[in-house]
Amino acid sequence: MNILIAGATGKTGLTLTTNLLDQNHHVTALVRENSDTSDLPEGCETRHGDLTDLQPGVCEGADVVIFAAGSGGSTGPEMTERVDRDGAKRLIDLAKDAGVARFVMLSSIGADQSDPSGDLAHYLKAKHLADEHLKASGLTYAILRPVSLTNNGRSNDVILGDSVDKTAEVSRADVAAVLAEAATGIHDNRVIEMQAA
């Protein structure tokens, strides 16, 4: 399949990109013009696009679009809204316009709440609104909501579903593996919470 990834140069995104290339998919990374693409694996193509100002056509030719991007923990609320909320929603709309078959969203535990509280409230609100936009879009979707992320390697097992301990952890490598599964349709039209077993 032709798979377009927003966030391919991030820690989770790089592992996801490698996984998909290993599975013989054609992978294109959606990157800003000034992005450092030196770590992208051989065989990954790039397409320029800024999540704060996406132009029509960025999803053309893609069978699947994966949103694995984020504004990052060091940015303020405005950038969270521009990337995690508005950028995601715009990418969803452009994917639908392009006839993309499936949209996979990397979300977060807690994004099920419409009025979250706590230190991450602004971020979770942005993710919630993006997730709801995807569910209402008419696109075939998968939304993955992992717990706190680590840089550990793959684990032997993960827990998916309602029994997830929201205070647990899961590795980015495990998250990337489930995102790759979702790209192939295994988790269509599901919202999945996730932790390491």
Q: Tell me which residues are annotated as active site.
A: 123
Phi, psi of 84 (to 5 degrees): -70, -30
DSSP-derived pairing of the beta strands 190-196 and 158-160: antiparallel
To the nearest 10°, report the CA torsion of 29, 85, 77, 151: -50
Q: Sign of the CA dihedral 90, 96, 100, 104?
A: positive
The pair of structure tokens assigned to 44 is 């990954």
